[in-house]
Amino acid sequence: MDDDIGKVSAALNELPGVAGRVSALRLKGGIATLVLDASGLAPEARSNFQHRIRTMLEAMPEVDQVRIALTEEKVHRTIIAVGSGKGGVGKSTLAANLAIALARAGRTVGLVDADIYGPSQPRIMGNEQRPDAVEKQIIPVDAHGVKMLSIGQLVEAGTALAWRGPMVTSALGQLMDGEWSDRDLMIVDLPPGTGDIQMSLVQKWRPAGAVIVSTPQDLALIDATRAIDLFRKMNVPVIGLVENMAGYACPHCGEISDPFGSGGAEAAAGTLGIPFLGRIPLSLSIREASDAGTPPAIGDGEEAALFSTLATKLLDQMKSLENRV
């Protein structure tokens, strides 16, 4: 018997890439059992690896049956929700650029477009291809150094999704439970408001924190306050508030105007006792780049620097939260 298991072990070690991944090898009554560490392998590679081992062992005269147990070292994943109290405040554009800036800062970032009824990340991120699936698990697509999933990649463009709550939360589950094994940071672009998706995300996936996006005017801030209140009531720390569309530089004369007011979000952050992460201007170039699928955070200009600074402040606030725990 010892000779037989020695032969099986030697045969396994001859397979490329097996070294260090096989443990608890046993051979009893013609049944070979082993534990295969699949850490870091994509679903297709994991399946192929397991198939090669099984095929090789089943071809050996000492082996009648093969049983393989897969294990995987899970990457600790931090989920950050990006929300707003109302629509039209540029939340999705900010979430996309923030995800890219965090990736450029060295994090492995995933982006989930959880706005099921109004998905916009495929357009903003410039990748509308339909993702593959392995054993019912969706494989995110690559976009500007970020892995991304959106319901917009799974349904026909322009299709109205007349779904009730259970179907919406089921769709969210498919996106959140995609193949994110190598991502250490997840940005979730929430729909506006405080509905089913926000509640389901918090209850099932427990974000480490939330970033709230608002324009400077009072009406938007009233709704942003409601979003902040929801996360606080559900014990999700609010990492900070971002003031979007803050100031507009005329492309002809360079004069700065404030069509939505100025400083309202920063003042509200102070009143609410939450960090103010920064402001992003109302910019034609940001809008054009977003429509073209080339978010400004991928470049090296002034706007990219704004998102880079925002990402740095977010990471600093996350460290501060961790130190308080």
pLDDT digits (tens, 9 = 90+) for 126-154: 999 999 987 788 999 999 999 999 999 98
Q: Which two tokens stand for residue 229?
A: 């209140």
Q: At what angle do helices 302-324 and 91-104 cross, to 10 degrees?
A: 80
- Give backbone dihedrals phi and psi of 24, rounded to 5 degrees, phi first: 55, 40
Beta bridge partners of 68: 34
Verify that 37 and 111 share a domain, yes or no.
no
pLDDT of residue 305: 96
Q: Quote the tokens at residue 308.
A: 């880079």
The pLDDT, as a whole number, for residue 157 is 74
Residues of the chain where predicted confidence (pLDDT) is lower than 50: none
pLDDT of residue 303: 93
Domain range spanning residue 28? 2-71
Binding-site members for ATP are 85-92
List, in order, residues 6 or more apart from 55 with CB less than 8 Å away.
none
Q: 239-276 burial, b for 16+ CB within 10 Å, e for fewer?
A: bbbbbbbbbbeeeeeeeeebebbbebbbebbeebebbb
DSSP code of residue 76: P
Are residue 151 and residue 30 in the same domain, yes or no?
no
Our count of domains for the chain comes to: 2
Tell me, yes or no, whether 113 and 234 share the same domain: yes
Tell me, what's the pLDDT at 324? Answer: 64
CATH of the domain at 234: 3.40.50.300
Domain end: 54, 71, 88, which one? Answer: 71
Give me the pLDDT at residue 154, please. Answer: 86
* CATH number of the domain to which 27 belongs: 3.30.70.1350
pTM of the model: 0.77
In this structure, are 237 and 112 located in the same domain? Answer: yes
Whose CA is closest to 312, among 275, 283, 285? 275
pLDDT confidence of residue 2? 59
Give the pairing of strands 146-150 and 238-249.
unpaired
Chosen domain end from 53, 71, 89: 71
H/E stretch holding 320 reads helix 302-324
DSSP state letters, 267-311 = HHHHHHT--EEEEEEE-HHHHHHHHTT--GGGSSSHHHHHHHHHH
Residues annotated within the binding site are 85-92
Long-range contact set of residues 103-107: C-beta below 8 Å, sequence gap at least 24: 103/144, 103/145, 103/146, 104/145, 104/297, 104/308, 104/311, 105/308, 105/311, 105/312, 105/315, 107/184, 107/185, 107/315
Say if residue 218 is in the same domain as residue 257: yes
And the tokens for 73? 């070292």
Domain end residue (candidates: 41, 71, 101): 71
Give the DSSP H/E element, type plus range, for residue 141: strand 141-143
Residue 322's pLDDT is what? Answer: 76
